[in-house]
Homo-oligomer: A and B are copies of this chain.
Amino acid sequence: MTAYTATVTVRLKHGVLDPEAETTKQALDRLGFELSALRSADRYEIDLEADGADEAEARADEMAERLLANPTIHDYEVSVVEAAAAQ
């Protein structure tokens, strides 16, 4: 078993309203920053033991499907690195 860190990034699907991001963008505008858009996303870093990167990715993918993302409104992506490389 090897230690891996899986990163799951959960984003709102295109077209789903994101009032938190809109408020953050307006606050940056008021502070004088120039930006054309801002999107927010949640990121989960999961430490797990697995026999290989493929298995770690499959398990993180299932965690996203079952709990971390809501398939109605979210897209997600999973990436995996060996834990030593993630430090």
Task: State the number of copies, please.
Answer: 2
A36 to B35, CA, bound (A): 39
Q: Is the CB–CB distance between A35 and B48 below 8 Å?
A: yes
Asked whether A43 is an interface residue with its Cβ less than 8 Å from the other chain, the reply is: yes
Asked whether A22 is an interface residue with its Cβ less than 8 Å from the other chain, the reply is: no
Complex interface bits, A22-46 against B, C-beta within 8 A gives 1, otherwise 0:
0010011001011111111111111
Supplied contacts A24-B67, A36-B49, 5 more A-B pairs, CB within 8 Å: A28-B63, A28-B67, A35-B48, A39-B45, A41-B43
- Residues of A whose CB lies within 8 Å of any CB of B are 3, 9, 21, 24, 27-28, 31, 33-49, 59, 62-63, 66-68
